[in-house]
Amino acid sequence: MGFSHIDAVMAVPDQPTQFWVFSGTKYRRIEIVVESTHPYGDKLLFESSIATDWPSLSSFTTVDAVMKVPDGSNEYWVFSGSQYVRINVANGEPHVDTKTYGPGPLSEWPSLTES
């Protein structure tokens, strides 16, 4: 059964046309088929559960948002509820993910939690 909503999207670091799409406790890896007309096509590569395939996200059951760390590395901040982790995703298959920080409270982000 397909997704009824999208919680977050994360680019596959070394595959510019591929993305991980998170919905609830599951995720899908998709590929955008670049065509000369709108809309582009897309292809499902596989689906699995976050708990099965993402060891760096073991403290989360769902992913609410993903933000790439802006230093050019393959690091991302992944948010779930009131917590976040910082993870690294290695290039190459399989894309091994490791936690580099967290989980930490969202309150560590003053720009997001102070008014």
The mean pLDDT value of the chain amounts to 94
> Is the pLDDT reported for residue 1 higher than 80?
no
- Domain residues for the domain of 38 are 8-113
> Is the pLDDT reported for residue 34 higher than 90?
no
Residue 91: predicted pLDDT = 95
Total domains in the chain come to: 1
> Is the pLDDT reported for residue 36 higher than 80?
no
82's CB contacts (< 8 A; 6+ apart) are 105, 106, 107
89 is a domain residue? yes
**Cα end-to-end distance, the chain, whole Å:** 41
CATH assignment of the domain containing 96? 2.110.10.10
3 is a domain residue? no
93 is a domain residue? yes
> Is the pLDDT reported for residue 87 higher than 80?
yes
Three-state secondary-structure class, residue 96: coil
Q: In the numeric block, which tokens belong to residue 33?
A: 């088929």
Q: How confident is the model at residue 37 (pLDDT cuts 50, 70, 90)?
A: confident
Q: CA torsion 48→49→54→58, rounded to 10°?
A: -170
Query: Alpha helix locations (H) across the chain?
Result: 50-53, 110-113
> Is the pLDDT reported for residue 86 higher than 90?
yes
Give dist(CA 47, CA 35) in Å, integer: 24
1 is a domain residue? no
| Contact yes or no for 103/78 (Cβ under 8 A) | no
- For the segment 75-99, the average pLDDT, to the nearest whole number, is 96
52 is a domain residue? yes
- For the segment 89-110, the average pLDDT, to the nearest whole number, is 96
